[in-house]
Amino acid sequence: MGSGSSHTATIPDLDDIRRETGFSQASLLRLYRRFRTLDQNKKGYLSRTDLEQIGALAVNPLGDRIIDSFFPDGNLKVDFAGFVRVLAHFRPIEEEDTGNQDPKEPEPLNSRMNKLRFAFQLYDLDRDGKISRQEMLQVLRLMVGVQVTEEQLESITDRTVQEADEDGDGAVSFHEFAKSLEKMNIEQKMSIRILK
Amino acid sequence: MRGPGVLGALGALALGAQGARAVEEQPGGAHGGGHGFQVVTFKWHHVQDPYIIALWILVASVAKIGFHLSRRVTSVVPESALLIVLGLVLGGIVWAADHIASFSLTPTVFFFYLLPPIVLDAGYFMPNRLFFGNLGSILLYAVVGTVWNAATTGLSLYGVFLSGLMGDLNTGLLDFLLFGSLIAAVDPVAVLAVFEEVHVNEVLFIIVFGESLLNDAVTVVLYNVFESFVTLGGDNVTGVDCVKGIVSFFVVSLGGALVGVAFAFLLSLVTRFTKHVRTIEPGFVFVLSYLSYLTSEMLSLSAILAITFCGICCQKYVKANISEQSATTVRYTMKMLASGAETIIFMFLGISAVDPLIWKWNTAFVLLTLVFISVYRALGVVLQTWVLNRYRMVALEPIDQVVMSYGGLRGAVAFALVVLLDENKVKEKNLFVSTTIIVIYFTVIFQGLTIKPLVQWLKVKRSEHREPKLNEKLHGRAFDHILSAIEDISGQIGHNYLRDKWSNFDRRFLSKVLMRRSAQKSRDRILNVFHELNLKDAISYVAEGERRGSLAFIRSPSTDNMVNVDFSTPRPSTVEASVSYLLRENMSAVRLDMQSLEQRRHSIRDMEDMVTHHTLQQYLYKPRQEYKHLYSRHELTPNEDERQDREVFQRTMRKRLDSFKSAKLGLGHGATRLHRRERARRRNSSIPNGKLPLERPPSFTIPEKALELLEPEEAADDDAVSGGIEFLAAVTQDTATESPAGCDNPGFEPEEPGFLSRVPPWLSPGETVVPSQRARLQIPCSPGNVHRLAPFRLSTRSTDSFQPDDSTQGQAPARPEATHIAAPGAEATQVILDRMRL
Maximum separation of any 2 CA atoms in chain A, in Å: 57
The residues, any chain, with a CB within 8 Å of residue B205's CB and separated by 6 or more, are B195, B630, B631
> Does the pLDDT value for residue B28 go beyond 60?
no
**Which residues in chain A touch residue B758, judged by CB atoms under 8 angstroms apart?**
73-74
> Does the pLDDT value for residue B479 go beyond 90?
no
Backbone φ and ψ for A173, nearest 5 degrees, come out as -80, 170
CA distance B281 to A157: 52
Angle between the B605-619 and A150-164 helix axes, to the nearest 10 degrees? 110
Angle between the B639-665 and B701-708 helix axes, to the nearest 10 degrees? 140
CA distance B93 to B347: 14
Reduced 3-state DSSP string for B775-795: HHHCCCCCHHHHHCCCHHHHH
Which of A42, A135, A149, A158 is the mutation pick for testing B, counting most B CBs within 10 A?
A149
Give the ipTM: 0.90
Chain-centroid distance, C-alpha B670 = 44
Q: pLDDT (tens digit, 9 = 90+) per residue, B228-247?
A: 888 887 677 778 888 888 88
Among A48-57, B119-128, B231-240, B489-498, where is mean pLDDT lowest? B489-498
pLDDT lower than 50: segments of chain A: 1-6, 99
Reduced 3-state DSSP string for B21-73: HHHCCCCCHHHHCCCCCCCCCCCHHHHHHHHHHHHHHHHHHHHHHHHHHCHHH
CA distance B540 to B387: 50
**Which residues in chain B touch residue A60, judged by CB atoms under 8 angstroms apart?**
481, 484-485, 488, 624, 648, 652
Beta strand extents in chain A (DSSP E only)? 130-131, 172-173
Q: pLDDT (tens digit, 9 = 90+) per residue, B683-720?
A: 444 334 433 333 334 433 333 333 333 333 333 333 33
Pick the residue from chain A with its C-alpha nearest to B479: A190
- B466 and A183 within 8 Å at the Cβ level: the answer is yes
- A160 and B490 within 8 Å at the Cβ level: the answer is no
Q: In the prediction, which pLDDT does B636 show?
A: 54
Which residue, among B538, B791, B795, has the nearest Cα to B653 in the 3D structure? B538
Which residue, among B293, B302, B314, has the nearest Cα to B117 in the 3D structure? B293
CA distance B744 to B754: 14
Alpha helices in B421-469 (DSSP H): 429-441, 448-462
Tell me the three state secondary structure of residue A173.
strand
CA distance B723 to B535: 11
- A61 and B648 within 8 Å at the Cβ level: the answer is yes
Task: Name residue B702's amino acid.
Answer: I
pTM above 0.90, yes or no: no
**Which residues in chain B touch residue A88, judged by CB atoms under 8 angstroms apart?**
none
Q: Which of A76, A153, A155 lies nearest to residue B764, judging by beta carbons?
A: A76
Residue B660 to residues A36, A193, B180: CA-CA distances in angstroms?
26, 36, 65
- B621 and A73 within 8 Å at the Cβ level: the answer is no
> Does the pLDDT value for residue B793 go beyond 60?
no
- B528 and A55 within 8 Å at the Cβ level: the answer is yes
Q: pLDDT (tens digit, 9 = 90+) per residue, B543-556?
A: 555 454 444 333 33
Mark A19-30 as b/e (b = at least 16 C-beta within 10 Å).
ebbbbeeebbbb
- A150 and B818 within 8 Å at the Cβ level: the answer is yes
- A74 and B758 within 8 Å at the Cβ level: the answer is yes
Residue A42 to residues A3, B767, B782: CA-CA distances in angstroms?
11, 12, 26
Among B236-245, B430-439, B722-731, where is mean pLDDT lowest? B722-731
Range ranked top by mean pLDDT from A86-100, B211-225, B822-836: B211-225
Angle between the A150-164 and B470-490 helix axes, to the nearest 10 degrees? 100
Task: Name residue B340's amino acid.
Answer: G
DSSP single-letter state for residue A130: E
Task: Name residue B720's amino acid.
Answer: A
Contact assessment for residue B59 and residue B90, using Cβ atoms and an 8 Å cutoff:
yes
Give the confidence band of B266 by pLDDT, cuts at 50, 70, 90. Answer: very high
CA distance B65 to B70: 9
The residues, any chain, with a CB within 8 Å of residue B580's CB and separated by 6 or more, are B801
Q: Which of B470, B486, B767 lies nearest to residue A163, judging by beta carbons?
A: B470
Residue A78 to residues A50, B454, B630, B750: CA-CA distances in angstroms?
10, 46, 34, 21
- A150 and B821 within 8 Å at the Cβ level: the answer is yes
Which residue, among B701, B832, B735, B728, has the nearest Cα to B787 in the 3D structure? B728
**Which residues in chain A touch residue B819, judged by CB atoms under 8 angstroms apart?**
150
Q: Determine contact: A113 vs chain B, CB below 8 A.
A: no
